[in-house]
Structures are given as C-alpha cells and as structure tokens.
Amino acid sequence: MKQTILITGASSGFGLLIANELHKKGYNVIGTSRNPEKYTSLPFKMIALDLASEESINTFSERIFKEINRLDILINNAGFLVSGIAEETPIELGRQQLETNFWGTIKVTNAVLPYFRKQRFGKIITVGSIVGLVSFPNSAYYAASKHALEGYFKALRYELNEFNIRVAMIEPGAFKTSILDNSSSPLTKIEDYNTLRNKIEKYTNFIVEQAEDPAMVTAKVLKVVETDKPKFRNLVGKGLSVLITLQHFAYGMLEKTILKQLNKS
C-alpha cells in the first residue's frame, strides 16, 4: 500500500516542489493551503489550513481524519518570513511570526500525534532553515521561530522514539524561492540603522544571486521520506557544515566573517 503524506503549505515554494515530486514517485499526497479552491489543477488533493488562524487549525484538527483514511508522514513546511531590523520590527509582527512558524506548526503536529501513537508508527519531517542554527542580521524573529522549532523537535524526537515515530529536520540554506517576495517587513524605519540597512540590502541581493536550485531540497526531503531511521539534522546547501562548525567551535570567527561580508557590500 502506498504511503500517505500530508504537506502543509503545498501551494508554492518548497511545499509545492516537494508535493509534486512525491506525487510523481507514487505517494498519496495531501497538501494544505489557506485557499485550496485556487489550486484545483494540482495533481494531488488540497485541504484548507491557515497556521495563523486558531479557528482554521481547530477545524483542521477535527476534520483531518475525516478527509483522509490513512497517514504515514507529516511534512511541516508552511510558514512565512518577517525580515527587518529587530528594533524596528513591531512586537505584534514578531508575535505573528512565532504564532505561524512555531505555534502553528506545533498545533498541526499535535493534531496528528494521537493517530501516530495509536498506529505505533509515523514520521514527522519539518522544514526549518540554516537560520534555525545560525542567526543573521535582519532576520531576528524569523531566526527565533526556526530556532524554536529546532529545540522543540529535538526534544520530541526522544519522546516519540518508543512509539516508532521518527522526527527529522530539513535545514536549507539560500535557495531560489519566493520567500523574500512574500515576506513582511516593518514600515517605520529608525535613521540610525540606515547605513546597516543599505549594507544588508546589498548583501541580500548578493545572496539571492548565489541562491541554489530548490530541487536539492526536494531531493533531501525525498531521501528522508525513504529512510527508515533518518538522522535529526539534514543540512541542504553549500558551505553549511562550515557555518555550523564555526558556530560551535569558533563563534568569534563566524561573527567576523559575517561582518566582513556586510562591510564588503
């Protein structure tokens, strides 16, 4: 029997690419979107879910196993980016970032956990980010949300081990997606940050130009899907292992490297 995989945020970006690839591989794919009625041409089933809406999550939790008969794998992918200088970012916008990326993901996970425990197997794969391990300027709240996911799922991996439920994280670097185009930023600017903001803009443009093919992320997710006991941390992208090594063993050097890159911009 082919496995059934639920993917949140499957209407665009990584989610859409992953869902299409898994469908091609013969998996029974169920995607989620805030407006599933817009995506009737997709080759897989779409159901409604808005991680920013408590009502939507509650409805999803009540209906999910009425919509599908079986679930083998949950892929947490939905989320968005808040970019901007930390002091300039309104607390409410930062709260929305955590509410969607962190709490929304946790609530969806909690909706399927009783089912996974009952059947004594399952797999939870969460798309995080390299900024869940290494923070960069202009992404304080996004990094906070991804760091929170890392800590939560690291603990959950231990707790679910006896139930044969596997937990893994995917940590991509910079890839060509629409995440920046769909990001939210503070409207009010603080003049003292003008110089830094200009440097960040130039550095971001450089990173975007160097961004890699998102098919690499799809391939990594597929590998984790097909691995019985995947490792927790799955980095995707050039040079990420070096960043992690510097983070743990030479943080001062990492800071100098990032500041040097900014000053070159």
Active site residue 142: yes
Alpha-carbon distance 157 to 151, whole Å? 10
Q: Among the options 142, 152, 193, 203, which is catalytic? A: 142
Catalytic residues: 142
